[in-house]
Amino acid sequence: MKKKILIILILGLIVVFITLSSSFASWPLEVTPAIEGRILDATTGEPIENSIVEVDWDTSVFAFVDRTSGSAGYMLIVTGKDGKYKVPSKVMLQPLGGFFSHLRNIRIVVRHPLYESKDASIVEDNIDSYKKEGKFQRYDAILRTLKNKYKYSRVINNNVLGTHNSLMDDLNEAQGYATQAKKMRLNVNWEIYFNAWTAIVEPYRNEVDFSWIKNKILK
């Protein structure tokens, strides 16, 4: 009798455990829909070639705590002349319905040396609706050129507050692009970009020195 009660209790606990844990993610596998889109110029609407799209699948460890995170995958994609990119779907093992680990977010960062970078969270805080969308999600990134961002006003004859920090942040992002380009063995003519940066920085040359970034890229 005691053995029968013990078996019933164990089975009951297993059912409760699986029911609770399955509310966090699919079981036993999590299949993320593919993501596709285009990278476009904010002013002209034209596609941006050679943008690097960085994709990171982020997971939470232990569903009830949901504080510790880790990466379940990482990918770099380069856009062609049409500015298009596509992130394939990903199959992730979700033991016990995601109790130990489950999909938390898909983070996308788009970089190009002549444009302001863009960072987006595709899944975070919206996982249920993300799964219902079907086989793929669409994410089009509209990027502003650094040339337009740092237009110098001859009328007021000074720079925008915080330009130094902002410019250095954007140039650091371009240096991040260089690191990724080297990983992918992407053929990049950096002299074109350096000349463009020189023109952008010229009105602020007394405040901004990007020579160290240039040297770092050329190493």
pLDDT per residue as tens digits for the range 61-102: 655 555 556 667 789 999 999 999 999 887 776 655 445 566
Backbone φ and ψ of 165, nearest 5°: -65, -40
From CA 132, how far away is CA 123, in angstroms rounded? 12
- Each residue's pLDDT expressed in tens, for the chain with a length of 219 residues: 666 666 666 655 555 444 444 443 455 666 777 888 999 999 999 999 999 999 988 776 655 555 556 667 789 999 999 999 999 887 776 655 445 566 777 889 999 999 999 998 876 545 454 554 555 578 899 999 998 888 765 444 454 445 767 888 898 999 999 999 999 999 889 999 999 999 888 887 777 788 888 888 887
Q: Which of 64, 135, 133 lies closest to 98, judged by CA?
A: 64
**pLDDT number for residue 136:** 56
What's the pLDDT at 181?
94
Which numeric CATH code is attached to 1-144? 2.60.40.1120
Give the pair of three-digit tokens for residue 146: 């650094």
Secondary structure class of 184 (helix, strand, coil) = coil
pLDDT score, position 85: 95
| DSSP character string of 31-97 | EEPEEEEEEEETTT--B-TT-EEEEEEEEEESTTT--EEEEEEEEEEE--TT-EEEEPPEEEE-GGG
Q: What is the pLDDT of residue 32?
A: 75
96: Cβ–Cβ under 8 A, 6 or more apart, which residues? Answer: 17, 18, 21, 27
- Rounded to whole angstroms, what are the CA distances from 51 to 39, 55, 120, 127, 140? 7, 13, 15, 27, 12
pLDDT cut 90: percent of the chain above it: 33
Domain residue spans of the chain: 1-144, 145-219
Residue 161 DSSP symbol: T
